[in-house]
């Protein structure tokens, strides 16, 4: 039996070691910048080592599919948690994020959302969590258009 919270071996927390990458023109494949597992906000433990002394990306699920350069533009060098403010049970998100911010020395937070109205809820939740944490952490919101362009 697995010792992970939901009993699924795929949910076990793990750090993914990455070497510094450089893009090779014409190589055709971009390297993954993912540095940890799991990434779903419901599954990430607030005390996970990758949150300590980190820049954190909180991304709506659709962002990585809409923004072709997601790994190099938003994810590189950051711990990540993904969520869907429309389809997920978001009730525990604010407290979970506040705990992450409170328990770790977070350097910065980037919230990546889609331009669609329902996605704005993720930005609101992160801002509420930051206020609840009692910390002052630089926060930036990146809005991605449904055509894949970065709007802000």
Helix or strand run (H / E) with residue 47: none
CATH architecture of 34-144: 3-Layer(aba) Sandwich (3.40)
**pLDDT at 119 (0 to 100):** 95
Across residues 68-79, what is the average pLDDT?
96
Identify the pLDDT of residue 17. Answer: 75
Mean pLDDT of 48-77: 97
pLDDT at 138: 98
Assign 50 a pLDDT band (cuts: 50, 70, 90). Answer: very high
The beta-carbon contacts of 35-38 under 8 Å, at least 24 apart in sequence, are 35/78, 35/79, 35/80, 36/79, 36/80, 37/12, 37/13, 38/10, 38/11, 38/13
Round the average pLDDT of the chain to a whole number and report it: 89
Q: Write down the pTM of the prediction.
A: 0.85
């Amino acid at each position: 039996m697995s010792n992970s919270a939901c009993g699924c071996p795929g949910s076990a927390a793990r750090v993914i070691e990455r070497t510094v990458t450089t893009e090779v023109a014409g190589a055709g494949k971009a390297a993954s910048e993912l540095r940890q597992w799991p990434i779903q906000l419901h599954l990430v433990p607030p005390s996970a080592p990758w949150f300590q002394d980190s820049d954190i990306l909180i991304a709506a699920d659709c962002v990585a599919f809409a923004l072709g350069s997601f790994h190099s533009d938003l994810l590189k060098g950051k711990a990540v948690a993904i969520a869907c403010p429309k389809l997920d049970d978001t009730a525990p998100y604010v407290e979970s994020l506040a705990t992450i911010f409170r328990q770790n020395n977070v350097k910065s937070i980037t919230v990546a959302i889609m331009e669609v109205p329902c996605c704005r809820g993720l930005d609101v939740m992160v801002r509420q969590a930051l206020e609840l944490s009692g910390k002052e952490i630089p926060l930036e919101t990146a809005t991605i258009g449904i055509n894949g362009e970065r709007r802000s």
